[in-house]
A and B are shown apart, each in its own frame.
Chain A
Amino acid sequence: MNNSTENLQKEIIRSSGVNPKKCMRCGKCSATCPAYDEMEYHPHQFVYMVENGDIQPLLESKSLFQCLTCFACIERCPRGVEPAKLVEAVRLAVIRKQGANHLKADDIPALLDEDMPQQAIVSALRKYSK
């Protein structure tokens, strides 16, 4: 692991408050994830890859924006690992960079329909942009 990866790993672990070492690799998070099929890397892989400092592929993965923050993986993890918090910390590591917003305010009108509640827009902006 080079220096910058190690720093990134530390930053992700600190910001999420998650200790990936607690994982016993049972895969219950991925068994429970409703967005599993949309993801290229699955919740258990996030935990494993962050633990091993294999973070670059995660940064580039669309999986970051498929997590629904439904907290099901947090709820059902037998070890209290909280994978969703790790997914979020990796996502923040991406979008906090200058100009890296995944969703820009200008893009939104095109995505809207008449009935869409404000809550959806606000949440998406929170999750996808800084």
Chain B
Amino acid sequence: MQINGEFQPKIVAFCCNWCSYAGADLAGNNRLAYPENVKIIKVPCSCRVNPMFILRAFQRGADGVILCGCHPGDCHYTSGNYYTRRRMALLFSMLNYLGIEKERTRVEWVSAAEGAKFAQTMNEFTEAVAALGENKRLEDLRCKK
């Protein structure tokens, strides 16, 4: 998306309900700014994120997708983030193979206490994705208005 001639990436952030969504709330409570490009979707656990969701996001024109979950060992559901870690390692390497730069995808562990980390992560991620420019891979042109 171009706004005032400047590229504005679309970024989808999946946040687990227990740690990262609360971390994002804390960033808000502390008024820690991060780019409005980031739109958060709440999931109960990072392991709820089906690789299909990420493919769908890219298909629909997302420029970057980030997944946030509890730190390893802190998962509310004991082991969910371990599944996430393994699944995403595989998915991201496949996406990279398909031409979606690895900087466009990321898994980050953000606890409910890490508002600052959440904001900083989103700043860095948005910057990295913006630097890559628009994502053309996997995009379904039929979905474009």
Question: CB–CB under 8 A between A and B in the complex?
Answer: no
Show the binding face of B for A, using Cβ within 8 Å.
none
Show the binding face of A for B, using Cβ within 8 Å.
none
